[in-house]
Chain A
Amino acid sequence: MAALATSSTQELGPITGTSVILDCEELSTREINDALRGLEAGSHVTIVHPSGRHNLAVGLFEHLDIVIDGHAGYFIGGLGAGPDITVNGFVGWSVGENLMSGTVRVRGGASACAGASSHGGTVIVHGSASSRAGISLKGGTVAVGGDVGHMSGFMAQAGTMLIGGDAGNALGDSLYEAVIYVAGEIASLGSDARIEDLTQDDVDTVRRLVELTGFDHISPEDVKRVASAKQLYNFDALKGQEY
């Protein structure tokens, strides 16, 4: 499970649009999210002193470059459709939940349910993620440099998970069409999840994700592909008959 590691402050990229600093010690979460919503596309924002604050930078639709400079709480960047968010610290539950597009990059670790239900976009966790990472994934990408906890990828319907470390118990339980790539060990597979042969397409997908994430400790040819055996897709009225 997540070792909530601290990371050093990331330097801001070249600033081309509006540049704003929002201070959690002076503003409520609502004020911060309202301010973010009022910014023009292409703006650069640094949110300082987050101190575990929940719900920062949620529900944003413009392309913004947002840096949250410190440890943050639950639901960071959730429901986003556009912004690229970097957290220089660790995050609590459900980072990037229901993400539609854009990126949420966490330099530290993440607690439970990282990237839950995300439809699109990419959630990148440089440290480890806790239980239920990528639960109910609906088309997004969840990439974790370290380990993930138990029941990760549970009922993931579409999209991709990349796990640079080890996976906890019941990985990919009741998977639908999502695919999970694991570089390390798998404690156990969940119901109806199986390891399949790696194709060239898989290797290409993982190589693209390694380039995107910077997780160069992952060798694209050496990951395990976990996908659904599709035995739970249909109710089998003739099977067992004991209920």
Chain B
Amino acid sequence: MCGIVGLHLKAAGREPDLGSLIAPMIDCMGSRGSDSAGLAIFSSPLPPGRFRYSVRLPEPGVEAQAQAGARRLAEELTAATGQPVECERVRPDGVVLAAGDDVDRVVEELVRARPGAVVMGFGRSLEIVKDTGSPREVCERFGIADRHGFQAVGHTRMATESAVTIDHSHPFAPTQDLAVVHNGSFSNPSTVRRKLEEEGITCITDNDTEVAARLIGRELSRGGDMHAALKEVGNEMDGFYTLLVATDREIAVVRDSFACKPLVVAETDEYVAITSEYIAMTSLPGIESAHVFEPKPEEIHVWQR
């Protein structure tokens, strides 16, 4: 069992509230999974040509030491990449860097400067937070309730098919401004993983959701729209899934043909809320008058900004 939550704010004025709205939602879904938790937070985009990198460092340090370490890292990467690199945020697990959009170059120099560093996600709007532990602990540790943004998706994990590590936890964010969370279990991830590898797309874990995320990423990178990308998941992948997928432009859901895993959507003039269970959205303002429904099997729903 796992829990998924998503919140897509339609009204720009609510952006300062994103964190305080999503934190109780993901906390509530701790009942469906408490070994790991993660969030993708989408906030104001960086200028064209600039990406945000969510970097986990092997030795992030604490307080002043972490601040100084982050500053030093930004300076080193500025010199190494020949483009300005700034530290946007120092986190308990590392840093969020603003750097150029040559991802391969930035990652190469980052890993050279700090061996063992991991980029968990990148893009103009996207920041990835994920860790082992309960969603409440993770939200408190990363100060989620104070975060601004226009959209977030989150996941609470009860691992059934691969190890409990930060790398195995959701969201998976393999391409620019893409985040995927999943409740369910795929039955043919190895087959699809091998197919992707033949195309040069490599998974970093043996997690089944990572395969689906990379498949969606491949489709979107090829210029396909979200609807087509999720259709391709249905074509290629077998198993039980409720997938919640977000980019900087949209949020989308799809369930397998048996609708084995739960999903509830609530829509108001102000937001679209998506959760495994209705109870996880009852903390939202105006939920009493929201249009609440369950997506049918294989129905693809996409909400765009």
A2 in the interface (beta carbon within 8 A): yes
B262 in the interface (beta carbon within 8 A): yes
Which residue of chain B is the closest to A49 with respect to CB atoms? B282
- Which residues of chain A are near B294, meaning CB under 8 Å? 1-2, 4, 111, 130
B264 in the interface (beta carbon within 8 A): yes
Please provide the 7 A-B residue pairs with the shortest distance between their CB atoms, ordered closest to farther: A52-B279, A51-B282, A52-B278, A4-B292, A1-B296, A52-B282, A73-B279
Contact indicator A112/B259 (Cβ below 8 Å): yes
- Which residues of chain A are near B297, meaning CB under 8 Å? 1, 131, 150
Q: Contacts A3-B293, A4-B293, A90-B292: A149 and B259 contacting too (C-beta < 8 A)?
A: yes
Q: Which of B279, B293, B295, B297: most chain A Cβ within 10 A?
A: B279
Complex CA–CA separation, A112 to B294 (angstroms):
10
A181 in the interface (beta carbon within 8 A): no
B284 to chain A, nearest CB (A): 11
Contact of B262 among A3, A111, A150 (CB under 8 A): A111
Contact of A93 among B262, B282, B296 (CB under 8 A): B262
Which residue of chain B is the closest to A93 with respect to CB atoms? B262
Which residues of B in the span 38-67 have a Cβ within 8 Å of any Cβ on A?
none
B1 to chain A, nearest CB (A): 12
- Which residues of chain A are near B280, meaning CB under 8 Å? 52
Contact of A1 among B259, B281, B288, B292 (CB under 8 A): B259
Which residues of A in the span 109-160 have a Cβ within 8 Å of any Cβ on B?
111-112, 130-131, 149-151
Contact indicator B259/A92 (Cβ below 8 Å): no
- Which residues of chain B are near A151, meaning CB under 8 Å? 258
B238 in the interface (beta carbon within 8 A): no
Which residue of chain A is the closest to B263 with respect to CB atoms? A111
A74 in the interface (beta carbon within 8 A): yes
Q: Contacts A1-B296, A111-B294: A73 and B277 contacting too (C-beta < 8 A)?
A: yes
A50 to chain B, nearest CB (A): 9
Complex CA–CA separation, A34 to B262 (angstroms):
28
A194 in the interface (beta carbon within 8 A): no
Complex CA–CA separation, A51 to B282 (angstroms):
6
Complex CA–CA separation, A74 to B294 (angstroms):
14
Interface string of A151-189 (1 = CB under 8 A from B): 100000000000000000000000000000000000000
Which residues of A in the span 40-72 have a Cβ within 8 Å of any Cβ on B?
51-54, 71
Which residue of chain B is the closest to A52 with respect to CB atoms? B279
B19 to chain A, nearest CB (A): 21
Complex CA–CA separation, A54 to B32 (angstroms):
13
Contact indicator A51/B296 (Cβ below 8 Å): no
Contact indicator A52/B277 (Cβ below 8 Å): yes
Contact of B296 among A4, A74, A149 (CB under 8 A): A149
25 A-B pairs in the complex with CB atoms less than 8 angstroms apart: A1-B259, A1-B297, A2-B294, A3-B293, A4-B264, A4-B294, A6-B288, A6-B292, A51-B282, A52-B277, A52-B279, A52-B282, A54-B277, A54-B279, A71-B282, A73-B277, A74-B277, A92-B262, A92-B277, A92-B279, A93-B262, A130-B294, A131-B259, A149-B259, A151-B258
- Which residues of chain B are near A1, meaning CB under 8 Å? 259, 294-297
- Which residues of chain A are near B296, meaning CB under 8 Å? 1, 149
- Which residues of chain B are near A92, meaning CB under 8 Å? 262, 277-279
B196 to chain A, nearest CB (A): 31
B300 to chain A, nearest CB (A): 15
Which residues of B in the span 261-301 have a Cβ within 8 Å of any Cβ on A?
262, 264, 277-282, 288, 292-297
Contact indicator B259/A73 (Cβ below 8 Å): no
Complex CA–CA separation, A71 to B293 (angstroms):
13
Which residues of B in the span 108-156 have a Cβ within 8 Å of any Cβ on A?
none
Q: Which of B277, B278, B295: most chain A Cβ within 10 A?
A: B278
- Which residues of chain A are near B258, meaning CB under 8 Å? 131, 150-151
Q: Which of A4, A74, A93, A112: most chain B Cβ within 10 A?
A: A4
Contact of A53 among B279, B288, B293, B295 (CB under 8 A): B279
A133 to chain B, nearest CB (A): 13
- Which residues of chain B are near A90, meaning CB under 8 Å? 278, 292
Interface string of B234-272 (1 = CB under 8 A from A): 000000000000000000000000110010100000000
- Which residues of chain A are near B279, meaning CB under 8 Å? 51-54, 73, 92
B47 to chain A, nearest CB (A): 42
Which residue of chain A is the closest to B257 with respect to CB atoms? A150
- Which residues of chain A are near B259, meaning CB under 8 Å? 1, 112, 130-131, 149-150
Interface string of A87-113 (1 = CB under 8 A from B): 000101100000000000000000110
B21 to chain A, nearest CB (A): 16
Complex CA–CA separation, A130 to B292 (angstroms):
13
Contact indicator A73/B278 (Cβ below 8 Å): yes
Which residues of A in the span 1-58 have a Cβ within 8 Å of any Cβ on B?
1-4, 6, 51-54
19 new A-B contacts, CB < 8 A, other than A4-B292, A52-B281, A52-B282, are A1-B296, A2-B293, A3-B293, A4-B264, A52-B278, A52-B280, A54-B277, A54-B279, A73-B278, A73-B279, A90-B278, A111-B264, A130-B294, A131-B259, A131-B297, A149-B259, A149-B296, A150-B258, A151-B258
